[in-house]
Amino acid sequence: MNQTLMVSARKVAGSKIQLEFAEVIEKSSGSVNPLALFNKSDSRFSSGGARRAWMTVEPSDASALLGLDLTDSNPGWTKDVLGREVLPLNVLNPQVLIGDELIDLKVEVVETTEPTDWQEANKDTAAKRRGKDGDFCYHNGKEIYANTRIAFNKANHVFLAMDDAKVTAPASDGIYN
């Protein structure tokens, strides 16, 4: 944890490229989730792995800041299985040089209850859930959506407090079996 991977670059519209980053994010609450602990062997209760963020950039500007050749002249460009032009990078803990200062790039998560148009149209896959196929997570009665972006030096994550889960229990005779 606390390490960022710059995964790859992909050519997109307008002569731009999109940089892909991945980072395992640790929530700073310090509390242990009992539900996850009691279900640690069930993959539906995993921590979710690395969070991804993408940043669309000008290849020459990004090359200068990162000290990498992200231009068309780099012979490492290839096509992925979908036919997109990609450049594998796999740079651990990328930094940019601004003036004479090296600055870390970090993945930052910001949760919100205001979805983007795409999130609204794809709520089933975009809204936060309780476990892989669980119920939606709510904050003040609204679905939670997580957005990611790249931050300098330190990520200032925003995690919304979730409303209590709605629990339905079968009728009981009060005797434990």
- Choose among 95, 65, 88: nearest CA to 3: 95
* Amino acid found at 36: A
pTM of the entire predicted model: 0.80
Q: For the chain, what are the domain ranges? A: 4-152
pLDDT averages per 10-residue partition of the chain, 177 residues: 91 96 75 66 67 96 96 96 96 93 94 96 93 88 95 92 76 59
CB-count exposure of residue 111 (10 Å: 0-12, 13-18, 19+): middle
